[in-house]
Chains A and B, each alone.
Chain A
Amino acid sequence: MVLELQKPRPVWQIMFSTHHTDVGLLYLIMSIAFLFMGGALALLIRAELFLPGSQLIADAMTFNRIFTVHGTTLIFLFLLPSASAVGNYFVPIMVRYKDMAYPKLNAIAFWMIPPGGALIWLGFADFTWYATPPYSIISAPGPAADMWIFGLKILGISSVLGAINFVVTILKCKHPDMSIGQVPLLAWAFLSSSLIVLVAIPTFAAALLMLLTDRLGVTGFFNPAMGGDPIAYAHLFWFTFHPEVYVLVIPAIGMMYEIIPRFSRKPIYSKSSGIFAFVLLSIVSFSSWAHHMYATGMSFTEKTVFMLGTLAAVPASGMHVFNFVATMWNGRIKFLTPMMWAIGGIALFFSAGAGGVANAAMPLDFTTHDTYWVVGHFHLFVMGTIAFGTIGFIYYMFPYVTGRMYNETMGKVHFILSFVGTILVFFTQHVLGLYGMPRRIFDYPAIPEWIAMNQIATVGAMIIGVSMIIFLINLIHSSAKGKPADIHDPFGLGGKYYYPFESKNPHH
């Protein structure tokens, strides 16, 4: 592991490096920057919804632009790159190779993200992260919409390049003495999620081009006025983006597989069931995409098929939860910051999954669809599970990246505030959805239950906001002034357990 901050180098040396830990560091810093940008937009949304009427945001158009860029940013510019950061750091080391298989391609994949992000932020489109046609074709103002389409196009290509690199690194570059079954679960997570990306993304890439030519007026794929069908877009979009949920969640689960056994000071309960569940999840991730579309007028048979396909993902997800709990069982658990984030993430993963079962059941979906229930539901995944796993892992890799320890107390305060805040925001939003509040609305009628629950959610969001400021201070301060870490056993776990970072990859 390269100790970037203990042996300072000029910043351009890191920026133009193709070494996997340098690219990983770039991914990490950029994704944290976008976490704060997207999070700031979330706080604006929550502040606006604190009371009915216009609070902070002058008009509905601005509000619509804010939630569109909020969602796009946190999915494509925080969650995906932060997973790539972890993968870049650890996958080559775990498969005992000197670097990623294609180092230059790796750097190119990273450097496609800033222009993609710039297009999204400078455009500030308003048609939701789903780019809903025919609205996006006939009503959404340009050039914001076109910039969003090009931005996503670039980010999609970047994902595909990154995925090819992970697949080749793991399958072709792993040490000859290492069987595929010996590859650690975190690397298995990247293998699974990268294979999903390769199958899923091309569909959306095609849909984006069709959307663009529709906007230019030369085609009418999704424009009913020209004989097209907006539901076709829904299928193409969700065929990519339901599996994409697993692309995001599988690496986060992989990170928990690193943290949980080490801090429980026990081997993983069953590695083979973890691998089995990853492979199974990758396959069934493609069997459920149209559960987003029950209310578009699908036939009873279609709905039944996609309900079954959705429920099929539950046993595999449950196997991961079982594996975590069984690993912690009778362990000598050390509740340091990374472990707390991982356990919190597992609890919220379970809650999110239980809510997902309710959504999948056809009649219940008509109560929850497009209400705040759905907002709460998927945020429990993206924030409660994926961001929690990722933030825990950032604390975990902090000493290996910087050579210094983060401040443990601040890390724990960060976790407790974020955990309480997440429950206040997203559990409340489930209930708010049952009261019927639609998502993506700038203003709402003064229904007392709606006001009360929006206010609880806003308070929760502000608590998360405060906790993230503590996080940022901790990262910046500790990377410069933190206590030097014992690199062989920074968490004082006894050093008996396998650390993937014991082998170093020198610059070459």
Chain B
Amino acid sequence: MGHHSNWPEWIYVGVIIALMVWVGAEAWNVERLVEHVPSDAEVIIVTGQQWFWTFEHEDGTKEVGTLHVETGKAYKFEIVSTDVNHSFNIHDYVVLMDAVPGRVNTVWFAPDKAGEHDIQCREYCGLIHYNMRGKLVVEDPTT
């Protein structure tokens, strides 16, 4: 219980509050931008089940484990699960969304370079969770 003045602490608290306001505002702004799905995005239905991923393109073609996409296009994933919770993750493109049974969650991305990336499950889903992995193959349509 101090009889001294406490102004250094109040300045310090003010600086923290200002920092937090800045972090919050930046985060709000960035999240608003990254959640805005382009209207021409192609829909890919992603189904998670113990312990693999299935992908269904707009034209009806299905792939298991490996997903092929093209550069220059935007894709919107509609993520579902048939059994327990999973989490669809392409870490290199910061694509992450839970697959929850009974729900359709969406997330989008637009690959910019040809290459191969890992797809993995990031939510605990049982015995083979550690190996619920897939491949994303990004192709350049011009070559």
Contacts and interface: CB of A to CB of B under 8 A. Distances in A.
B32 A318 contact: no
B131 A443 contact: yes
A436 B96 CA distance: 11
A479 to B, nearest CB: 37
Interface string A314-356: 1100110011001000000000000000000000000000000
B28 A273 contact: no
A270 B27 contact: no
A135 B133 CA distance: 19
Interface in B92-106: 92, 94, 96-98, 100-103, 105-106
A407 interface: no
Interface in A393-439: 435-436, 438-439
Interface in B12-41: 12-13, 16-17, 20, 23-24, 26-28, 30-32, 34-35
A382 to B, nearest CB: 19
B83 A138 contact: yes
Highest count of chain B CB atoms <10 Å: which of A61, A311, A319? A311
B130 A366 contact: no
A224 interface: yes
Nearest to A130: B124
B13 A139 contact: no
Contacts of B32: 300
A295 interface: yes
A297 B103 CA distance: 9
B91 to A, nearest CB: 3
Interface string B1-18: 110001011001100110
A132 B8 CA distance: 45
Given A271-B1, A308-B24, A318 B94 contact: no
A135 B6 contact: no
- For chain B, the bracket of interface size reads 35 or more
Contact of B130 (A60, A127, A135, A318): A60
B119 to A, nearest CB: 11
- Interface size band for A: 35 or more
A295 to B, nearest CB: 5
A229 B85 CA distance: 11
B33 to A, nearest CB: 9
Interface string A16-49: 0000000000000000000000000000000000
Given A295-B98, A326-B9, A134 B85 contact: yes
A361 interface: yes
B122 A371 contact: yes
Given A229-B102, A363-B27, A322 B1 contact: no
B120 to A, nearest CB: 6
A438 B17 contact: no
A181 interface: yes
Interface of A: 60-61, 64, 127-128, 132-135, 138-139, 181, 224-225, 228-231, 269-273, 295-297, 300, 303-304, 307-308, 311-312, 314-315, 318-319, 322-323, 326, 357, 360-364, 366-367, 369-371, 435-436, 438-445
The 6 closest A-B pairs by CB, nearest first: A436-B91, A224-B102, A297-B105, A441-B130, A361-B27, A224-B101
Interface of B: 1-2, 6, 8-9, 12-13, 16-17, 20, 23-24, 26-28, 30-32, 34-35, 50, 83-85, 87, 89, 91-92, 94, 96-98, 100-103, 105-106, 118, 120-131, 133
